[in-house]
Amino acid sequence: MQSTLKEQYQHDIEEDVSSIESILEGKEDKPEESTVLPAPDYDEHDATVDDVLADLKMESFSEKNTVEHASVEDIGNHLESAIVVGDVPDEVSFEAEE
């Protein structure tokens, strides 16, 4: 039985290798054609030193994507149902007790 299984295994391996070779024959992976995209609007590729030293008002992006809430009550308390997991089941106070 073992010799039959070895022969079948060898046959299957040879068959798999030959089928893989037939699939790969004649096919070469060609790199995809890439197109050069122009630089985005914020890129001043032709800026000079004088442009950098010009006294112009610069745009600030620090407030971009900021969400403002009229009141704290509108936000809700998302930690209301949170439970304490670990060694500290009671409230901890850092004030010195007298």
pLDDT of 97: 65
pLDDT, tens only, 37-63: 776 666 666 777 787 777 777 777 777
pLDDT at residue 26 is higher than 70:
no
Q: How confident is the model at residue 30 (pLDDT cuts 50, 70, 90)?
A: confident
Average pLDDT over residues 89-95: 74
Query: Per-residue b/e over 16-30, b at no fewer than 16 CB within 10 Å?
Result: eeeeeeeeeeeeeee
Type of residue found at 81:
S
The C-alpha atoms of residue 9 and residue 15 are separated, in whole angstroms, by 10
